[in-house]
Amino acid sequence: MIYKTSHTFPKGGIHPPEYKLTQNVPIKPLPVPKSVIIPLSQHIGAASAPVVAKGDHVKTGQVIAAANGFVSSNIHSSVSGVVSKIDTVIDASGYRQSAIFIDVQGDEWIDSIDRSVSVISEIELAPEQIIEKCRELGIVGLGGATFPSHVKLAVPKDKKCSILIINGVECEPYLTSDHRLMLEKGEETLIGIKILMKALHVEKAMVGIESNKPDAIEHLKELSKRFDGISIHSLTVKYPQGAEKQLIKTLTNREVPSGKLPIETGAVVHNVATAYAVYEAVQKNKPLIERVVTITGKSLSAPGNYLVRIGSPVNSLIEAAGGLPDDTGKIVSGGPMMGKALQNTGIPTSKGMSGIILFPASESIRGETGPCIRCAKCIAACPMNLEPHLLANASMKAMFERTESERITDCVECGSCSYTCPAGRPLLDYIRLGKSTVIKMARERNLK
């Protein structure tokens, strides 16, 4: 199949300042902390059920919580030690969730994991075995949405997947974890892509990378000569290029129909970090117990990229990056456009955490809000071609039927509207309110 590939998506988008402070800082392993808190809800779907109890000894890589249904994921211990308690903790979502607390003793890994540095490029497992491996070893989407990978790889029988799209866009300002991973683990990542291609029975994979990472593009282009069917695409820098629907549009010129899943276009999208995690799971038998996290901020003395054991508290990362700056006013997990503000520094890292950004107090507070002057900049910025001012206003006035007919549920919550609004209106806040209400209304309607 021939796709009409362009350099960017046609409608909307913004150009926030990039601040990729850590793009030249190599990935370093973060020292194993004294204790970890491993949340049981690190993925989309049902929370996992603990299979260990207080006082149990666990090894690094051992299953400590099992998937609770199909759309769920296994969770493994990222350290060795003793389970001190199973309790609730406020995590990055801002809600109190169940978690397993482990006091670290040494670093004893389970035997099945291949910890050697050798690169294994021969893919021996069959497609079904690959999907089973991903399920067993707790692989979830590492781009931020944390959708369990085995669910995404199991294409419904009546649908056909014709292309694999790999998201190396990293369009959020500040974040560089995917960038560094592509540079330092390029070969492994490409093998991971081959594994995903095998699991999906596709011949072709396209890797989209924004042109502000020329070194990563060059590196992968060079490596990809040895891998059939993988093409590397340099894309124009524009936020939100890394949003799934926008990336599919850019690379295949196909639009995911409103309310449908990407598979309708024949494409399945995975993040580069997920491809690397799949490589480690399938070739090295290693569960998802660590990931690369960018720790950054203008006031940090040593921002960097760290390979972090899942469950390490955020403050262990901040310490490694030179300690908490005095002027810190906000700590964000994820990118500045879509990330979540953290309530405290003791919050554990989780599978979906691609970066931690420390904002100085002066940049932590929103500006004043003025009246809407109907300048239409939000309409021009919306990548989904919605009318954010209208959706926000109707939501504010509780006119939820109207927001539904104006397709509020198509909103991808990229935040371009709020970013661009000259009157500083909190458009996305109101749109989220409207969107969640409309989804609830639709669910109740379906029950009747």
Partner 1 sequence: MNNQLNVSLSPHIHGRETTQKLMFGVVVALIPTIIASVIFFGAGAIITTAAAVISCVTIEYLIQRFMLRKPVSITDGSALVTGLLLALNLPSNIPLYMIVIGSMVAIGVAKMTFGGLGNNPFNPALVGRVFMLISFPSHMTTWPAPAGFATGYIDAVTGATPLAIIKEGIKNGESISELMLKIPSTAEMILGKIGGSMGEVSAIALIIGFIYLLYKKIITWHIPVSVIGSLALFTSILWIANPDIYAGPSFHILSGGVLLGAIFMATDYVTSPMNPKSMILYGCGIGILTAIIRIWGSFPEGVSFAILIMNAFVPLMNTYIKPKRFGEEVKNG
Which residues from 294-333 bind partner 1, rule CB under 8 A?
324, 326, 328-332
Of 73-81, 175-183, 368-376, 439-447, which part binds partner 1 (CB under 8 A)? 368-376
Q: Pick from 379, 396, 399, 437: which binds partner 1 (CB under 8 A)?
A: 379
C-alpha 440/C-alpha 277 separation (Å) is: 34
Contact 246, 143 (CB under 8 A): no
Compare residues 277 and 320 and give the one whose CB is closer to partner 1: 320
Q: Residue 328 CB, nearest distance to partner 1 (Å)? A: 7
Of 177-185, 186-194, 303-311, 409-417, which part binds partner 1 (CB under 8 A)? 409-417
Compare residues 133 and 377 and give the one whose CB is closer to partner 1: 377
Does residue number 375 form part of the binding site for partner 1 (CB under 8 A)?
Answer: yes
Half-sphere exposure of 381 (CA within 13 A, CB side): 24
Beta bridge partners of 100: 38, 86
Q: Pick from 173, 186, 208, 242: which binds partner 1 (CB under 8 A)?
A: 173
Does residue number 206 form part of the binding site for partner 1 (CB under 8 A)?
Answer: no
C-alpha 394/C-alpha 438 separation (Å) is: 12
Q: Pick from 51, 71, 89, 341: which binds partner 1 (CB under 8 A)?
A: 341
Of 191-199, 282-290, 307-315, 335-343, which part binds partner 1 (CB under 8 A)? 335-343
Does residue number 415 form part of the binding site for partner 1 (CB under 8 A)?
Answer: yes
230-289 residues in contact with partner 1 (CB under 8 A) are 245, 249, 254-260, 264-266
Spatial CA neighbour of 89 closest among 123, 52, 38, 139: 38
DSSP codes, 114-157: -----------S-HHHHHHHHHHTT-B-TTTT--BHHHHHS--T
According to DSSP H, which parts of 201-270 are helical? 214-224, 244-252
Compare residues 106 and 370 and give the one whose CB is closer to partner 1: 370
Q: Is the peptide bond before 50 cis (omega within 30 degrees of 0)?
A: no
11-70 residues in contact with partner 1 (CB under 8 A) are 11, 14, 16
Backbone angles phi, psi at 101, to 5 degrees: -100, 130
75-94 residues in contact with partner 1 (CB under 8 A) are 94
Q: Pick from 50, 61, 148, 339: which binds partner 1 (CB under 8 A)?
A: 339
Compare residues 53 and 375 and give the one whose CB is closer to partner 1: 375
Which residues are CB-neighbours of 154 under 8 A, at least 6 positions away? 131
Compare residues 15 and 226 and give the one whose CB is closer to partner 1: 15
Site of tokens 């002066």: 362
C-alpha 224/C-alpha 239 separation (Å) is: 26
Which residues are CB-neighbours of 329 under 8 A, at least 6 positions away? 359, 360, 361, 362, 363, 364, 365
Both tokens assigned to 25 = 């800082």
Other CB atoms within a 10 A radius of the CB of residue 215 amount to 12
C-alpha 292/C-alpha 140 separation (Å) is: 14
Does residue number 396 form part of the binding site for partner 1 (CB under 8 A)?
Answer: no
Compare residues 154 and 372 and give the one whose CB is closer to partner 1: 372
Does residue number 422 form part of the binding site for partner 1 (CB under 8 A)?
Answer: yes
Q: Pick from 223, 372, 396, 399: which binds partner 1 (CB under 8 A)?
A: 372
Q: Residue 289 CB, nearest distance to partner 1 (Å)? A: 28
Q: Pick from 56, 387, 399, 437: which binds partner 1 (CB under 8 A)?
A: 387
Compare residues 25 and 256 and give the one whose CB is closer to partner 1: 256
Q: Pick from 428, 434, 435, 438: which binds partner 1 (CB under 8 A)?
A: 428
